[in-house]
Amino acid sequence: MKTDILKDLKKNPFEFILLFLILLTGALFFLYFSFNSHYQRRVIYATGAAYCFWSLIHHYRRGDLQLSIVVEYILIALFATILLTGTLF
Amino acid sequence: MKQKLSLLFIPQEKNNYKSLLTHPSFLGIFIAVYLLNQSLIRSFTILKPGVLGYSSEITVQKVIKLTNQERQKNGLPQLVYNQDLASSATNKAKDMFAYNYWAHNSPSGKTPWDFFKEIGYDYSTAGENLAKDFYDTDSMVKAWMKSPTHRDNILHAKYKEIGIGVVNGTLNGVKTTLVVQHFGLPLNLASVSNQQNPPNDLNSESPVLTETQQILSQENSAPLISPLQISKTLGIIMFTILILAMLTDGYITMKNKTKRLAGSATGHISFLAIILMLLLFSQQGSIF
């Protein structure tokens, strides 16, 4: 349960590769749909949801999946999606 | 003061070994502050309409010039300026301001084709592109070209004529410029050859305003405060504070080898950094 950035990356490389792929795909689709607010909004929601889903897999595999952790991820995803959609659309 | 700041950023016993800014309660406060800012902007646009807005240097001539350049690049003939289509496009833009909507169909059910009919333009094929909040013509035409449906309109082989409406006004309390592009293939093809002259020399870069622009641009003469810039600046500040807090928190936790139950700092920082990048590189303007 140690929060150690480097250790986290070394211990679970595939999980973090998956996370980076999710984020990169989200960013590329967002840029691809530039100025198309309908699609961009969907891309932001999908990326936020995928991030939360990734956290479930990541913490389940680490054996520390707790409600407080799930709430933390949901709040961070909400914070990011509200700020981005609220600002742009 | 120093101690309060250290509680916000540095994990220690007093904050349960987690910097306060990364606590769920503080994330909730961040969201609440941002929503309050959005509500204030919204209320301000209702109480003082026209103070916030987007400035623009879009001209009818440049929209036609860039549209025809895109057609030429794709081996298509240039579109000819048509005054009737310009009137229908301008009427459409005015209608959106008058009835406060941003769509192809008005809330009362009026379609783009009704505007063509109203000015007596008989067509066999017609199309409409809309844009708002853009500062310059280049980025607006690029945005249309990036969207498959708008691109199809610009590069439609059947269209022969074009009309542009560039109208300044206040939409939802925010000053902006609406651009309407109307395309058409007239039923009477012979009429295409009897063209009226375009509004100005298409090679001219100097902005020549249509009558509507001339009247309404006076409203837009003062420098405008963009609501996008206000929200964007606040968003960037919040993201930066949160990322800095997470980096500090992650570094100190790693250094002190603290064991605790928390989300992955790597995951949080990566996610927030990507969203911050999207926010930083986002541009004003939207198409429909």
The tens digit of pLDDT for each residue in B18-57 reads: 888 888 889 999 999 999 998 998 888 778 776 777 777 8
Q: How far is B282 from chain A (nearest CA, A)?
A: 8
Identify the pLDDT of residue B44: 82
A43 touches chain B (CB under 8 A): no
Q: Do A19 and B270 touch (CB under 8 A)?
A: yes
pLDDT of residue B208: 39
Taking alpha carbons only, the member of A55, A40, A52, A47 closest to residue A23 is A47
Closest CA to B132 of B285, B24, B247: B285
What is the tens place of the pLDDT at every residue in B75-102?
999 999 999 999 999 999 999 999 999 9
- Using the CB atoms, write b or e for A32-46: b if 16+ within 10 Å: ebbbbeeebbebbeb
If you ran DSSP here, which 8-state letter would residue A35 be given?
T
Judged by DSSP in three states, A82 sits in: helix
- Kindly state the percentage of chain B with pLDDT values over 90: 49
* Coil, strand or helix at A2: strand
- Spatial neighbors of A21 by CB under 8 A, at least 6 apart, are none
The predicted pLDDT at position B14 comes to: 84
Q: What is the pLDDT at residue B201?
A: 47
Report pLDDT digits (tens) over B173-210.
Answer: 888 899 999 999 998 776 665 554 555 544 444 443 44
Contact B274 A26 (CB under 8 A): yes
From A3, A20, A86, residue closest to B231, measured CB to CB? A86
Check if A36 contacts B (Cβ < 8 Å).
Answer: yes
Is residue A73 within 8 A of residue A55, CB to CB? The reply is yes
Tokens 């310009």 sit on residue: B86
At B52-73, the pLDDT tens digits run 777 778 889 999 999 999 999 9
- The pLDDT value given to residue A1: 43
The alpha carbon dihedral of B270, A19, B32, A88 has a sign of positive
Residues B168, B219: contact at Cβ < 8 Å?
Answer: yes
**How sure is the predictor about B265, in pLDDT bands with cuts at 50, 70 and 90?**
confident
Residues of B in contact with A78 (CB under 8 A): 27, 31
Model confidence, pTM: 0.73
Please give the Cα distance from A5 to A64 (Å, whole number).
Answer: 16
Between strands B161-171 and B80-81, the pairing is parallel
Q: How far A23 CA sits from the closest chain B CA (Å)? A: 7
Written as six digits, the tokens of A25 are 């795909």
C-alpha dihedral, B89 to B93 to B99 to B100, nearest 10° = 150
Which residue ranges of chain A lie beneath pLDDT 50?
1-3
Please answer yes or no on whether B267 and A80 come within 8 Å at the CB atom.
no
